[in-house]
Amino acid sequence: MANYESDVTQFIRSLLEKNPALIEEQKQNRATWWDKKQDLVQQKLNEQSEAPKAPYAYFPLPKVGDVT
């Protein structure tokens, strides 16, 4: 088992050997979407401005006075 490599691992290794520029491209694309500094003030404002959510979204709760 110590020498086992899955098919996926073998594929990724061969892909990176054929295209070494993929690693740098992956870093650039990650920076586009994920590696951003967070604005904590704006994040707090966004959280406060959200509309209240129903406690159970899939079925409306009965209203007071409703008889089933």
Question: How far lies 37's CA from each of 18, 27, 43, 49, 68, in Å?
Answer: 33, 16, 11, 21, 52
Give the pLDDT score at 30.
Answer: 87
Nearest CA to 22 out of 35, 11, 37, 7 is that of 11
13-58: pLDDT as tens digits: 999 999 999 999 998 988 888 878 889 999 999 888 888 877 777 8
Q: pTM of whole model > 0.85?
A: no
First to last CA, the chain: 62
Give the pLDDT score at 44.
Answer: 93
Give the pLDDT score at 58.
Answer: 81
